[in-house]
Amino acid sequence: MAEPLLEIKDLRVEFDTRDGVATVIDGLDISLYPGEILGIVGESGCGKSMTALSIMRLVPVPPGRIAKGTIRLDGEDLLQVSEKRMRGVRGNAISMIFQEPMTSLNPVFSVGDQIAETILLHEGGSKRAAWQRAVEMLDAVGIPVPEVRAREYPHQMSGGMRQRVMIAMALACQPRVLIADEPTTALDVTVQAQIFDLLKDLQKKTGAVIVLITHDMGAIAEMAQRVVVMYAGRKVEDGPVDEILTNPKHPYTTGLIGCVPHLSADPSEERVPLTDIPGVVPPMTRLGQGCPFAPRCSEAMDKCRLEMPTQSVVGEDHRVSCWLIENDGP
């Protein structure tokens, strides 16, 4: 396989809380390859957003801190570079779009101004040229009559439009990595479909790597080529999407796929109960030394509760951290 564009190695993020130190990300390895869409899935609180924030080096310090690891973009470790250099990377080489577009847009400036501002900040040039580019970007993300729309304020736009503006802003400086943190959870499915189409399209055109964070396996299947499944701040399984969907190895992945009623074109009369993953994600401050999923896992053995499972390779580019796999052999 090609050289990774961005490589996270052994990342660990800690937070000081009332109940002690919470290790919200531990031993995380993720590689991004040029030209791909990578999905990250997992339940709420499993560290998806924190992973994105770590890449942007935007983890709130304090109470948080990146305790360990490296994040290399083209060989340069982003965790070591100066804050000034990082400002040049953010919004330029790596940019991010968030779940709620309303809170990430400034309500008192027109959307055109905001995009132009981003361009001026990173690339300089004349105001006029920046505005022109902003209008072009709005056009590129499918906003009708962009010259007029550029003068509008965020509150005058629908949720879907605002998310398009966010995408336009994120892409304004031709980033090489675009992180989309649940970009469609606040939107209707029909609008979500538009945004997904747009992202796929732009990915093909610009060649940017997209990291899509979501909790919807359907969205992953639709969008991504590879997927990372996270649980309690740890990567439990990763691999090609089709492989993971048809042949999941980790009990949590199996549960995640089985617990959602998937829409079928040909529903049958009979409806089997949904897979039940009992209980909830444990508080991050009280994870034992064993597998974090053990308390909810129907297959857990004594070993699982005592020792953190190691990663095993189970197929081409398919890795799992689970003692079951170790026991059976790959």
Partner 1 sequence: MGRNDMSEQANSQIQAASPSFETEVDILTIEHPLREAARMFARNKAAVGGLILLVGILILTLVVPFFYTVDPFDLVWAPLSPPGTENAPFGTDYLGRDILAGIVHGGSATLAVGASAALLAVVIGLSVGSLAGYYGGWVDEVLMRITEFFQVLPTLLFAMVIVALFRPSVATVAFAIGVVSWTAVARLARSEFLRIRSLDYIKAARSISSSNRRIIWLVILPNAMPPLVVQATLAVGGAILFEAGLSFLGLSDPNVMSWGFMIGSSRDYLMDAWWTVTIPGIFIFLTVLSVSLIGDGLNDATNPKLRER
Partner 2 sequence: MTEETLLSIENLKVHFPLKTRGFSAPKSFVHAVDGIDLKIAKGKTFGIVGESGSGKTTTALAVMRLVPITSGAITLGDQRLDRLEGEELRRARRHMQIIFQDPYSSLNPRVRAGAIVREPMDLMDVGEKSEREDLVAELFRQVGLRPEQQALFPHQFSGGQRQRIGVARALASQPDLVVCDEPVSALDVAIQAQIINLLRKLQAELGLTYLFISHDLGVVQYICDDIAVMYLGKIVEMGDRISLFKEPLHPYTWALLSAVPSADPALRDRADRIRLQGDPPSPIDPPPGCGFASRCPFSQALCTMEAPQLRTIRTGHSVACHFVSDDGVPPQRKI
List of residues contacting ligand ATP (CB under 6 A): 15, 17, 22, 24, 42, 44-50, 60, 63-64, 215, 284
Closest distance of CB 121 from partner 2, Å: 31
Q: How far is CA 228 from the centre of its chain?
A: 9
Rounded least distance, CB 103 to ligand ATP, Å: 14
User: How many Å apart are CA 24 and CA 107, to the nearest integer?
Assistant: 32
Residue 106 is given by DSSP the state -
d(CA 187, CA 194): 10
Indicate the residue among 42 and 239 with the shorter CB distance to ligand ATP. Answer: 42
Sole binder of partner 1 in the list 262, 264, 286, 289 (CB under 8 A): 286
Residue with Cβ nearer ligand ATP (199 or 287)? 287
Do residues 189 and 220 make contact, with C-beta atoms less than 8 angstroms apart? no
Please report where in the chains the tokens 């490296």 appear, as a residue.
Answer: 70
# chain residues binding partner 1, by CB under 8 A:
21
What, of partner 2, Mg ion, ligand ATP, none, does residue 231 touch, CB below 5 to 8 Å by kind?
none
Q: What six digits make up the tokens of 95?
A: 């940019």
Positions touching partner 2 (CB under 8 A) are: 43-44, 158, 160-161, 188-194, 196-197, 215-223, 242, 245, 255-257, 259-267, 269, 271, 273-278, 280
Q: Alpha helices of 109-231 — where are they, by DSSP H?
A: 111-123, 127-140, 146-149, 159-171, 189-206, 217-223
The separation between CA 157 and the C-alpha centre of its own chain, rounded to angstroms, equals 25
Quick one: which segment of 44-52, 87-95, 237-245, 252-260 binds Mg ion (CB under 5 A)? 44-52
Single residue of 8, 15, 40, 49 touching Mg ion by CB under 5 A: 49
Round to whole Å and give the CA distance between 30 and 239.
11
Question: Which of residues 124 and 278 has its CB atom nearest to partner 1 in the complex?
Answer: 278
Check residue 11 for interaction with partner 1 (CB under 8 A): no
DSSP state of 256: H
One residue of 305, 311, 315, 326 binding partner 1 per CB under 8 A: 305
Distance of alpha carbon 144 from alpha carbon 89, whole angstroms: 31
Residues lying near Mg ion in the complex (CB under 5 A) are found at 49
